[in-house]
Amino acid sequence: MEEKILENYIKAGRISGQIKAEVLQTIKPGMKILELAEFIEKRTLDLGGKPAFPVNIGINDITAHYTPKADDATVIKAGDLIKIDHGVHVDGWVADMAYTYCTDKNEMIKAVEHALNEGIKAIRPGVKISEVSRAINDAVTSAGFGVVVNLTGHGLGQYVIHGPPTIPNVKNESADVLKEGDVIALEPFVCEKNGYVKESEPYEIYSFMQPKPVRLPEARVILDTAGNEYMGMPFCKRWLVKKGISPFKISFALRQLETNEALKSYPVLKERSGMKVAQAEHTIVVAEKPSVITRAPE
């Protein structure tokens, strides 16, 4: 990997590690998740990064793709499992990390963090992806829990938040191997027993797919912003409201752009039987001594 690219990854990772430390000092019951999201995204910019996607804040069975609405009134309650999935990029090079907060000691959080560490320990150039998956899954099952079967770890790249390879959290026969210099995110999700996510409301997050002719002026602005400012990476209605477009016009334009296949949406993913979910994630550069770029500096 070029020196400059690695520097950008490391900078992005440091920013997310530092913000995690700040979040854990400030998060508490009674806080609005909107306030938390705005804090995380503002600090990302303050520290010289950009959000790689709207920060995801998933409570309990809400597992992924929930970012607060512009007027979101949701408040953190004692006992909630609060998953924070935060992506930072520097010149497009993405550090993706997630962690789970709860006021109470929670065994699932302990299990998911342990499973992530076991997965990281299995990483080396030439290792089969199936071996990394097995390390994660064995750690989860020996703690007496299950994983969300249909969510996986993934590769990262410049302006790419979900690239190859796919790294399942369940045992598999994949013969694919990790190579020196690959940048990957390991991302286990733990619940009481094996679970599955399904698509659900609301739709807050979108990303650019392809240019299309559009007549509605707001749709043209949104499509242009999606391609040129967000560079094809996910964005949300809340960010467009801040640009001064009315929420009603945003919803109307986004529906039209999605129908035209100019944009795609990321519906919220919930555990289908309502089980609570804990998550942990780090971004790692594959090497003889793997570098976990999103780990907070000691």
Binding site for Co ion (CB under 5 A): 96, 185, 187
Identity of the residue, 189 or 206, whose beta carbon is nearer to Co ion in the bound complex: 189
CA-CA distance, 35 to 219, in Å (whole number)?
Answer: 28
Enumerate the active-site residues. 85, 96, 154, 162, 187, 281
- Phi, psi (deg, nearest 5) at residue 179: -115, 155
Identity of the residue, 134 or 282, whose beta carbon is nearer to Co ion in the bound complex: 282
Q: Please state the closest distance from residue 284 (CB atom) to Co ion, in A.
A: 12
Identity of the residue, 169 or 256, whose beta carbon is nearer to Co ion in the bound complex: 169
Nearest to 140 by CA among 201, 198, 189: 189
Q: At what angle do helices 107-121 and 129-142 cross, to 10 degrees?
A: 150
Q: Please state the closest distance from residue 87 (CB atom) to Co ion, in A.
A: 7
Identity of the residue, 185 or 236, whose beta carbon is nearer to Co ion in the bound complex: 185
Q: Please state the closest distance from residue 156 (CB atom) to Co ion, in A.
A: 8
Count CB atoms within 10 A of the CB of residue 108. 24
- Report which residue type is found at 252: F
Q: Please state the closest distance from residue 281 (CB atom) to Co ion, in A.
A: 5
Q: Collapsing DSSP states into helix, strand and coil, what is residue 75?
A: strand
The pair of structure tokens assigned to 25 is 């000092």
Angle 175-178-179 from CA coordinates, rounded to 5°: 130
Q: Please state the closest distance from residue 65 (CB atom) to Co ion, in A.
A: 11
Burial (CB < 10 A; 0-12, 13-18, 19+), residue 232, is middle
Identity of the residue, 207 or 256, whose beta carbon is nearer to Co ion in the bound complex: 207
CA-CA distance, 23 to 28, in Å (whole number)?
Answer: 9
Pairing type for strands 82-90 and 56-59 reads: antiparallel
